[in-house]
Amino acid sequence: MHVAVAGNIGAGKTTLTKLLAKHYKWESQLEDVVDNPYLDDFYNQMERWSFNLQVYFLNSRFRQVLQIRKSGKEIIQDRTIYEDAHIFAPNLHAMGLMTNRDFENYRSLFDLMESLVQGPDLLIYLRSTIPNLVEQIHKRGRDYENSISIDYLSRLNERYEAWIHGYDKGKLLIIDVDKLDFVANPEDLGSIINKIDAEIFGLFKLDL
């Protein structure tokens, strides 16, 4: 089984992925932010490094998805291959931070990869407002994220909502995270687990 967690920067994807992996005894596939050779350069000079970064992420997640399906294990993945292609790359292109040539090359590569992979069995989308994202980004204190603008986050949020609205790759669970603290409050985590159980095991659904 393949479960994936999606959401904007600062929504809590990695944290929730780790907590759910521990609860369900799933193997976790986390986003590579520590060893990523492009992140620092990208946030300092987006136009120069946007294509390099997006290809790096695309390659990394394509390998993850192939490994997930090949392994046959129960795996939860932090961010999907679709978010890069439907949200981050188009946003960079629209902002003039990725050239037409690079974007078309990127899209062609993604289309080829997409034809070779399946979507997750369950996608968990963490919906968040901009103020909450800014607070969470500030709280975790990653140096390379200090230059992220509210305009950039807002554009990403709009694209996330549009993508989720048309998502058709499998089961979808939307969780509004603004009023949840699934780290400090076990009840909040429990309510999320109840909703996941309902999707996976066909139990009655509960509203958050």
User: Active-site residue among 32, 78, 188, 197?
Assistant: 78
**Sheet with 122-127, side-by-side order of all strands:** 27-29, 75-78, 2-7, 122-127, 171-176
Neighbours of 160 (CB within 10 A): 23
Q: Are strands 2-7 and 27-29 parallel, antiparallel or unpaired?
A: unpaired
Retrieve residue 144's tokens.
Answer: 């390379």
Asked if 78 is an active-site residue, the reply is yes
How far are the Cα atoms of 17, 27, 53 from residue 39, in angstroms, in the given order?
21, 25, 7
Give phi and psi for 126, each to the nearest 5.
Answer: -95, 105
Which residues, in sequence order, are bridge partners of residue 171?
A: 122
Residues assigned a catalytic role: 78
